[in-house]
């Protein structure tokens, strides 16, 4: 996202008059998620200053600090486990734009993880996982089923991280190992979802959601 993120952390980049992460928090609160933990790494102090304790959103926000360096998604979740009050727990990437109804994830997963998968975007046509029998709570596979892209929305059990050591590591290999063991379920979501990972995608989103619009 450079040069935009040279001076502003990605979650604080504005869309429709609010930071990306503010839209996400408002949506989570509307769906019944009010006890939130935010991972902080790059320019984390600015994110904490912008969000505060969450009362302005109707939420309670606590923070998990990744220091001195960012820990990647897997390491960041492991680092946050002592702060979390529930197991399983929902994780949502801070740079996605979606109207996914988070409330439908209550009570999942039956295994170690449950993933929300979306049709492959143009910038990721190969997808990430296969989904078997998508008309039900389906099993996620590394090699079989309809190829779909991981949305950055997932529900996990702490046991997924039982053998992990603190430090920097990605989430993907953990999910793939768990999928090989039959411990990952998923669902296909065909509604609004965008990964705001480049300045071009951010500009496209802004062109649709002007400051006078309501956002999500």
Inside any domain, residue 91: yes
* Residue 23 belongs to a domain: yes
pTM: 0.90
159 domain residue, yes or no: yes
The answer to whether 128 and 198 have CB atoms below 8 angstroms apart is no
CA dist 76 and 69 (Å) reads 10
Residues 6+ positions from 99 with CB-CB distance below 8 Å: 27, 191, 192, 216
Domain-located, residue 168: yes
State how many domains the chain has: 1
Angle at 177 between CA 175 and CA 93, to 5 degrees: 10
pLDDT of residue 136: 56
Containing structural domain, residue 180: 4-208
C-alpha 145/C-alpha 206 separation (Å) is 34
Whether 215 maps to a domain, the answer reads no
Summarize pLDDT for 116-125 with one digit per residue, the tens.
999 999 888 9
- In the predicted model, residues of the chain with pLDDT beneath 50 are 213-216
Name which of 99, 128, 127, 132 is nearest 209 in CA terms. Answer: 99
Q: Where are the alpha helices (DSSP H) in the chain?
A: 20-30, 44-51, 72-80, 172-180, 199-208
Q: Give CA–CA dist 58/209, Å, rounded.
A: 23
Neighbour tally for 178: CB within 10 Å: 20
29 Cβ partners below 8 Å, 6+ apart?
Answer: 57, 58, 59
Whole-number pLDDT of residue 5? 62
Give me the pLDDT at residue 214, please. Answer: 44
Looking at residue 215, its pLDDT comes to 42
The pLDDT tens digits of the residues spanning 123-150 come to 889 999 999 975 556 899 999 999 999 9
Rounded CA separation 97/205 (Å):
9
CATH code for the domain of 167? 3.90.550.10
Domain-located, residue 28 = yes
């Amino acid at each position: 996202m450079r040069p935009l993120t040279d001076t502003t952390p990605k979650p604080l980049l504005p869309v429709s008059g609010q930071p990306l992460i503010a839209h996400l928090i408002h949506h989570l609160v509307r769906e019944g998620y009010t006890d939130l933990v935010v991972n902080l790494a790059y320019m984390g102090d600015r994110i904490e200053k912008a969000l505060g304790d969450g009362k302005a959103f109707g939420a309670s926000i606590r923070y998990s600090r990744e220091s001195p360096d960012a820990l990647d998604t897997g390491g960041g979740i492991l680092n946050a486990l002592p702060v979390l009050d529930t197991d399983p727990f929902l994780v949502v990437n801070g740079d996605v734009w979606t109207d996914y109804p988070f409330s439908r994830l209550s009570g999942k997963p039956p295994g170690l993880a449950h993933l929300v998968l979306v049709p492959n975007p143009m910038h990721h046509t190969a997808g990430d996982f296969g989904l078997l029998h998508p008309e039900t709570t389906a099993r996620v596979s590394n090699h079989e089923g309809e190829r779909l892209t991981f949305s950055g929305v997932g529900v996990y059990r702490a046991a997924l991280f039982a053998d992990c050591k603190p430090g920097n590591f990605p989430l993907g290999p953990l999910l793939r190992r768990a999928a090989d063991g039959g411990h990952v379920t998923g669902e296909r979501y065909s509604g609004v979802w965008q990964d705001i990972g480049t300045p071009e995608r951010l500009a496209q989103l802004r062109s649709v959601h002007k400051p006078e619009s309501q956002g999500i």
